[in-house]
Amino acid sequence: MIRLRTGPVSSLPADAAVVVFSFTKERRPSGAFLFGSRLDKAFEIAKSDGFASRPAQVGVARSEGKPSRFFFVGLGSESEATVDGIRRGAAAAARRALSMGVTSLAFRPAMLGTAAAATQAVMEGVHLGTYRFTEFQSEPEPKAQLKNVYLISKDAGEQKQISAGARKGELFGGAVTFARDLINRPPSDTTPADFVKFAKAAIPKGVTLKVLAKKDIERLGMGALLGVNRGSHFPPYFLHFTYKPKGKSRRRIGICGKGITFDSGGLSLKPAGSMETMKYDMAGAASVLSLFTVLPTLNPAVEVHGFTPLTENMPGGNAVKPGDVLRTMRGRTIEVLNTDAEGRLVLADALSYASRQNLDEVLDIATLTGACVIALGTGIAGLLGTSAPLNERIKEAAAVAGEKVWELPLEKDYEPLLRSHVADIKNIGPVGQAGTILAALFMKTFVDSDLPWCHLDIASTGWTSSQTALSEVGATGVMIRTLLTYLTSYN
């Protein structure tokens, strides 16, 4: 529960600890007005124990009276400190507090940027840093949970900003943890039909959902989605979410999310080790759904449409074969040379469907290519698109959200590498050559030429095999905060 406090604090519960942020070479950390000499003394104790205010470093010092502990979080030098440093520092402090059994934390947000932005970062850090997925553990490891988060302002004017930032941080953080929960579920408990069930239960008032079953998909001629589905025991679905603002809409935006609920590779079977995390191949679809769980509350001044093609990619007896040709919703034919390049196939039909919705722009988010991991590593998402202004706006939103993207070129001279001798286009190019770029060039052909389009490849960032500053092992929910930042930037 979030609680707001103003001015010197004397009403915190006995088990609460105060978190304050500090810069290197700073004599008094932010929040000195709260406790005066008590805080100064605790700060000196923390420094004597090795706390040097390095970015995301956490120091702890006991103190007489209430609260009995102070947590100090480093931001580095004033010139290098960022709002994302607050986010990561809050996550580190919350983890440290929980490891010590502390269940109530009071934060004095460092005033970087606006008080609202700093507080939003604090709340996102707390959400993301303390996330755990234990639904399928019969006896999960006991671990303390934060019961109360206090946010301390200097005066009433600052408190208003802090309150707004806290609300936004709760919504952004909640959207990410919703997606993480969905992605982390076992694949046999998250089939396309299960995803539909979760979507129906999760969408709030203000969002409409159109569910297209297999017969509807056949009627629309989505042959690429149907082709990928052929090897699976479970039928495909296609979901169309719609959110409309309460006031006048400034823009109509479409977002497609790849929804392969499990990817075996099909007949182009993946190695066993590469399949172990392939339940996360629906991270794009889960991300799209998560947006719609909070959009009515955020009320951005744009109309948003979400599209999620849902299927497994399995090597069943009727599975699509290398060399098969699929006819898409757009009418273009695809020669399938590798059945493990299936994400671009289902997105071909999704982008074709989106192109018919009278949108001003369309984006997609997908765990698309292993080549993106090779190109950018595990900390940066790939970005490609047809509109320089749209690409720039997404990059700006990512910078605000503290998420890293890197733009790769849609190299026109590479287009001949996708020419097929038997169909309009083939689904892969030469092995080992510009795989991420060629996948985007493939999808571009299914978007109307006059419709601005941006593609986010999160294959490298949607899952982590080790704990990071903001994520436990498993699904990361990457780019959700970027997309929400972008959508709310029109307010």
Catalytic machinery residues: 270, 344
Rounded to whole angstroms, the Cα distance separating 474 from 277 reads 8
Distance of CA 479 to the CA centre of its chain: 4
The three-state (H, E, C) secondary structure of 341-365, written as one string: CCHHHHHHHHHHHHCCCCCCEEEEE
Between the CA of residue 291 and those of 28, 210, 325, 354, 475, what are the distances in Å? Answer: 40, 16, 35, 17, 16
Could you give the C-alpha distances from 432 to 370, 372, 437, in angstroms and in order? Answer: 10, 11, 12
Query: Residues near 39 by Cβ (< 8 Å), separated by ≥ 6?
Result: 18, 20, 28, 29, 31, 32, 70
248, 301 Cβ separation under 8 angstroms? yes
The candidate with the shortest Cα–Cα distance to 472, out of 37, 28, 14, 133, is 133
Residue partners of 236: CB distance under 8 A and separation at least 6: 192, 214, 217, 225, 226, 228, 229, 309, 310, 311
Distance CA 204, CA 441 (A): 36
Which two three-digit tokens encode residue 36?
């005066």
Phi, psi values for residue 389, rounded to 5°: -60, -40
Q: Reply yes or no: is the peptide bond before residue 67 cis, omega within 30 of 0.
A: yes
Cα separation, 347 vs 352, in Å, equals 8
Structure tokens at 148: 């109360």
Q: What angle, rounded to 10 degrees, do the helices at 192-202 and 156-184 form?
A: 160
Report the relative pairing of strands 463-464 and 425-426 from DSSP bridges.
unpaired
Tally: H helices and E strands in the chain: 15, 20
